[in-house]
Amino acid sequence: MYTFSGKLKTLSFVLMIVGALGIGYGFLSAPKSVQEVEQLLEKEHEAHHTHGGHHDHHEMSKEERDAHVAHVYHQEANKPWSALYVAGIFFFLISVGVLAFYAIQHAAQAGWSPVVFRVMEGITAYVPVGAVIVFLLLLASVLHINHNHLFIWMDKEVVANDAIIQGKSSFLNVPFFLIRAAIFMAGWCWYRHLSRKISIRQDNEPGNATSLHKKMVKASATFLVFFIVTESISSWDWIMSLDPHWFSTLFGWYVFASFFVSGITVIALTTIYLKSKGLLEYVNQSHIHDLAKFMFAFSIFWTYLWFSQFMLIWYSNIPEEVTYFIQRIDDYTLPFFGMVALNLIFPLVILMSADFKRVNWIVVFVGIVILFGHYLDFFNMIMPATVGDRWFIGIPEISSVLFFAGLFIFVVFGALSKQPLLVKNNPFIEESKHFHY
């Protein structure tokens, strides 16, 4: 039985407190008026002039200048919200990715994985918590709380002057948007609740183990059908609609690959941590090797999807499509190409070796790199649409990650301490205990 250590619990609280303070600082330091933005632009203009640069700020007409100032004001006001949104949705989708992986194991009746089922169940305990937070962030955008304008299609003035967004209004409208989000999140939370309930019942009711196993298989297969559809639509809603003029038919799969490999990575890191504490006695290096194989495989899968989406759009050179990548290459050069290097090169070079997949510290190192790389992936997907070229990885961004990391640790390891770490009466548990190759 795992005990949530005082040190780890203290760390989670420290991360949440420090993160909350930094998030608060981000909101307090954001411009509160157009006048503040004008002063900020004047300072930037003077700085450019001092260093030999140029700026066309004073060459604009009054109407252009007013529009530019208003635009920058919205971008600056969005910065703390964007930082919060990137971290919030990233950690939420990690837990959703683990939930999908857990469902796949049951639907496929995999024999290697039952010894780590409780690890997966602990991580998925964050699903309902993350769902509530992300839904509240979506609601904050709908209500434009504290100048939140992440989704420009929610702005009536913008829609009134934009024929493209008007053409999508039957899908991109607030009531339907919130209803979809509520249904998707409720469905994911339902499966998490049901699967956890069945898992615990299977421990306590050996006489019903077979029927409960069949029920879990059916529930998991049903959930996966629901998940495949809702994951794609949620990716369009929560991320792609931030750029309402742009679309990619591959986007749902691309987002899935990003958070799915992140979820598997978190399973591996959590398993190695618990193993280092003398727990999970039946987990051996073959289990770690399998998890590392999935990390490697889905890193390659993510790369394939990234390249397919990028290459086709870049090669076709259609203005309303290629602008998406031009903005990211021009304004987000380091995070854009850095993200590709972190998510491809490190897993490819290091985890290609079968021996390295069995070395815990190497798996941990690569796992941390993968998580950072996929955080940058979500950063690249969201920030250009909400803050444009006024991005910076500063206090609000780092603090948001710290806050959600602390909350994630608190929820996950709290859940792990509530039940024994080894499931009982699963028909494949003995196969899993003796899994070697």
Burial 399-437 (b: 16+ CB within 10 A, else e): bbbbbbbbbbbbbbbebbeebebbbebbebbeebeebee
Are 308 and 249 within 8 A, CB to CB? no
Tokens of 380: 């690249």
Four-CA torsion 365, 369, 374, 377, nearest 10 degrees: -170
Per-residue pLDDT of the chain (437 residues; tens, 9 = 90+): 889 999 999 999 999 999 999 999 999 988 888 888 888 888 877 776 666 555 554 566 777 777 778 888 888 889 999 999 999 999 999 999 999 999 999 999 999 999 999 999 999 999 999 999 999 999 999 999 988 999 999 998 889 989 999 999 999 999 999 999 999 999 999 999 999 999 999 999 999 999 999 999 999 999 999 999 999 999 999 999 999 999 999 999 999 999 999 999 999 999 999 999 999 999 999 999 999 999 999 999 999 999 999 999 999 999 889 999 999 999 999 999 999 999 988 888 898 888 899 999 999 999 999 999 999 999 999 999 999 988 889 999 999 999 999 999 999 999 999 999 999 999 999 999 998 87
d(CA 283, CA 285) in angstroms, rounded, equals: 7
Question: Would you say the pTM of this structure is higher than 0.85?
Answer: yes
* Long-range contacts of 353-356, Cβ-Cβ distance < 8 Å, separation of 24 or more: 354/289, 356/292
d(CA 304, CA 174) in angstroms, rounded, equals: 34
Burial 324-356 (b: 16+ CB within 10 A, else e): bbebbeebbeebbeebbebbbebbeebbeeeeb
Are 84 and 112 within 8 A, CB to CB? no
Maximum alpha-carbon separation in the chain: 81
Per-residue DSSP letter, 41: H
Helix (H) or strand (E) holding 270: helix 251-276
pLDDT for 15-46, tens place per residue? 999 999 999 999 998 888 888 888 888 887 77
Tokens of 335: 């995070």
Cα 174 versus chain centre, distance: 23
Q: What is the 3-state secondary structure (H, E, C) of 293-362?
A: HHHHHHHHHHHHHHHHHHHHHHHHCCHHHHHHHHHHHHHCHHHHHHHHHHHHHHHHHHHCCCCHHHCHHH
d(CA 400, CA 421) in angstroms, rounded, equals: 30
Distance in Å from the first CA to the final CA of the chain: 28
DSSP 183-228: HHHHHHHHHHHHHHHHHHHHHH-GGGHHHHHHHHHHHHHHHHHHHH
